[in-house]
Every structure is written in C-alpha cells, then in structure tokens.
Chains A and B, each alone.
Chain A
Amino acid sequence: MTRPYVIWPLRFSPNAPAMIDFYSRIGLHLTFSHDNGTFATFRGRAGTLGVHDAGDTTSGKVTGHTALNLATDDTELAVAELAASGYDVKIWDETYGKQGIVMSRDGRVIGINGDSQEDLYGGYQTHDEAAAAPVLDVVAVCITSEMKAEAVWFEPLGFTAPSYDDPHWIGLRAGDRFGVLGIHPGEVESSDPRDADDLFGPPYLVGIGFETSEPLAVFADRLSSAGLDPTMITDGSDPRVVLVDPDGEEVQIHPAP
C-alpha cells in the first residue's frame, strides 16, 4: 500500500477564465489560482481538479486535453515508494515544486504533484475554504479497451472497486476524499505529443465528470440558478444531469453511489 493519492485531472483549456468560472458555478471550491486567470485548482467533496491555460504552458500546448494527475502530500516520498514497488517513475524540479510522473501500464504519463505550493511568487494565491462542503465528487473518466486490467493497475495506488464485472463502468475509489477513477470501455484517444512528453511518452488523457449526493432535480435547479443550462435525463437506468462546458465538452453528473 502506498501513500494516499487524490485524483487531480488537469484541463488544458483555450478558454481558461471561462472554464474557471464554469467550475465555480457548478459548485466546486476554488483553492488556488493565478491572478491572470491562466491557472486554478478546485476541490470537490472528493477529488480535485485543475485548469491550465493551453497557451501558457511551459510544456507545450495540448488544447482541450485533460491529463490525469495524482496529488500527494509529498511528491519525493511518493515517487520513492512507487519506484520501490516497481513502477517506472521520474522526478524533477519545476518552478512550482517537484514534478513526478509514473508510467501507466501501457506507457502513458500520469503526473504526480504536490497538493500544495509554498512559493506564491508571480501572482499565485491560495483561497480560503468555504464553510459548506461541495456536494460534487470529481470523476476522472479513463477510456480503455481492457477495463479490468486498467482497473487492477490502479489497485496498489489505493483505488479499488466493489466489483470489476460491470462491462460499462468500474468506479474506483480510495476512500471518501480522494475522488473517483471511472473506467469506461472504448479505444484510447490518441494525442499529439507535447514537447516535454517527447522525453517520456504521451499523457494519460481522461474525461471529467462528477457524482453528487444532492438529488439530481435540486442539483439541476441550482445549476440553472447559477446561469448554466443543464439537461436532466431521467428515463432509462442511468439518470444524470448533462451540460456543456465552455470548451464544448459534455459534462455528466451522476448520483453518487
């Protein structure tokens, strides 16, 4: 068993300020940001989420892509533990602290990042935690043609599911606070390699979804009151709220189990 990891999908957006506003409106808590609107992180009831301006990355542009990262309290210790467990890892210094990576079972890059940043030079700021806990759990949706093998790979990182037999969805959790990894059938999306990733491999791309403990009708009303345009789908066995984010990506919010 390794130290705990928190799901932290990072969206590289051509509309970062609009995406930051969008995630604030749907009910995530802003925890960290840059004052020029190019970067922000959010906290859900479980899991975290980041937005990075696609034109302002130091590692190349991957417009519209969302890369899977795992946040931890100590990147150096986390990478050392993963290396000792046989994972293919690397770590180096960036302006914001240590950047780690772990290679997925098929050679894609998953980021390992610290869950806080001490040096706020250059316009970064932390934000006070709001009093009420967000009702949203962040879900990183992993598309794969080998669902069970993909799900099992995440087990040593603490993410497990009650069952691995559903052919449509395996929801991996590491506890109440760490977010959800949703394994969904499909072909792995190909991506243009980033400059920095030429060294290591393509990023592990995910979709972003949410689960909520709020009744869907109440949640949809709240989104409408926040100026968003949700569609509630109640027919069939998969009730959900659907809306489109400023990047044009569909976002699905399902009831939390």
Chain B
Amino acid sequence: MRAKSPAKVQFNVYLPPDLVKAFKHRAIDEGRSLSAVVESALADYLSRKESR
C-alpha cells in the first residue's frame, strides 16, 4: 500500500504578474507543477533564513 502524501492546504497571495509568469515558465522548463516549484522556492527561502 502506498503511503499517503501529507495533507496540503491552499495558500492564496497577491504577487506581481511578471513574477507569477516567471514561476510558470520555470515550472514548464523543469517539467514540474506550479505548486511544486513554488513549494521548493518557499522551502529554500526559509532554509536559507534559518541557516544564518
């Protein structure tokens, strides 16, 4: 039996259109979902802040 993924929640924020477009294009380039790329970016940001 496959392990269930941790529950996820929706996270609505307002961002500059160009930044949204850049993230969408990055996700296409990497063959990943938009959610996966934004999740990576947020996790990386927190990781860098916490390691200082």
Contacts and interface: CB of A to CB of B under 8 A. Distances in A.
Contact of B24 (A90, A95, A195): A95
A199 interface: yes
A189 interface: no
Interface string B10-34: 1000000000110011011101111
Residue among B2, B5, B8, B33 facing the most chain A CB atoms (10 A cut-off): B33
Interface residues of B, number: 19
Interface residues of A, number: 16
A58 B8 contact: no
B32 A58 contact: yes
Contact of A119 (B5, B8, B21): B21
Given A119-B21, A121-B25, A92 B31 contact: no
A198 B7 CA distance: 9
B36 A58 contact: yes
B5 A198 contact: yes
Contacts of B33: 58-59, 94-95, 196
Contact of B5 (A93, A94, A122, A195): A195
Contact of A121 (B28, B31, B34): B28
Point out which of B4, B27, B32, B35 has the most chain A C-beta atoms below 10 A from its C-beta. Answer: B35
B4 to A, nearest CB: 6
A21 interface: no
B1 to A, nearest CB: 11
A197 B26 CA distance: 23
A198 B4 contact: yes
Contacts of B10: 90, 92
Contacts of B29: 122
B42 to A, nearest CB: 15
A249 interface: no
B18 to A, nearest CB: 12
A56 interface: yes
B34 A122 contact: no
A195 B6 CA distance: 11
A95 B8 contact: no
Interface in B31-48: 31-36
A8 B2 CA distance: 30
Nearest to A34: B28
A5 B10 CA distance: 26
Interface of B: 2, 4-5, 7-8, 10, 20-21, 24-25, 27-29, 31-36
Interface of A: 56, 58-59, 90, 92-95, 119, 121-122, 193, 195-196, 198-199
Given A59-B33, A92-B10, A95-B34, 11 more contacts: A58-B31, A58-B36, A90-B10, A93-B34, A94-B33, A94-B34, A95-B25, A119-B21, A121-B24, A122-B29, A198-B4
